[in-house]
Amino acid sequence: MVHFDLETELKPKPDNAQARRHREIILFWQVAFAVAVILLLIFALS
């Protein structure tokens, strides 16, 4: 389970390697989820 705290995400935080990697992982999963949804829609509509 991923704990997503909006308040901590919006606060400016030090740009260390761990925080940057964490944001990259979140971005990667958002993109992967969007691609999966688009592919499912294409298959459902075809």
Calculate the dihedral angle through the C-alpha atoms of 33, 37, 38, 40, rounding to the nearest 10 degrees: 140
Report yes or no: 40 and 34 within 8 Å, Cβ to Cβ: no
Report the pLDDT value the prediction gives residue 11, as an integer from 0 to 100. 61
Report the pLDDT value the prediction gives residue 33, as an integer from 0 to 100. 97
Report the pLDDT value the prediction gives residue 42, as an integer from 0 to 100. 96
For the chain, the distance separating the N- and C-terminal CA atoms, rounded to the nearest angstrom, is 34
Report the pLDDT value the prediction gives residue 13, as an integer from 0 to 100. 60
Report the pLDDT value the prediction gives residue 17, as an integer from 0 to 100. 79
Mean pLDDT by 10 residues, the chain (46 residues): 58 72 92 97 94
In sequence order, what DSSP letters do the residues of 3-37 get, joined into one string?
A: ---HHHHHS-----HHHHHHHHHHHHHHHHHHHHH
Question: How far apart (Å, rounded) are the C-alpha atoms in residues 42 and 46?
Answer: 6
